[in-house]
Amino acid sequence: TCALPIWDRVGRDEQRARRPSAVRLIAPRIAAFVLEISRRHPLALVVEPSALADPLAAAVVVRLRRGLARAGAARPCAGGLLLVLP
């Protein structure tokens, strides 16, 4: 089992990163990155309940759910995304 931080916020302005304007800009990019990687490599993303209190994490989850819904039925490929929500 391996964990990979997608975005290391250490040393960044936490309040600024959670402003609605920043969330609208950053969340789609993080979700697109995760979806793109999951097309090539199997990926399981477990979301802890406390993470959803963070505006950025919650927005990324919304984007991932939309992306998975648009993808439809699983196609034969090397990857896949398992999104585990509370």
Note the pLDDT of residue 78. 76
d(CA 45, CA 4): 10
Residue 76, number of CB atoms within 10 A of its CB: 4
Per residue, what are the HEC states of 51-68? HHHCHHHHHHHHHHHHHH
Note the pLDDT of residue 79. 85
Per the CB < 8 A criterion, the answer to whether 29 and 66 are in contact is no
Note the pLDDT of residue 76. 64
**Going residue by residue through the chain (86 aa), what tens digit of pLDDT does each one get?**
555 555 555 556 667 767 888 889 889 999 999 999 998 889 999 999 988 988 889 999 999 999 999 876 666 667 889 999 98
Note the pLDDT of residue 31. 94
User: Nearest CA to 26 among 38, 39, 13?
Assistant: 13
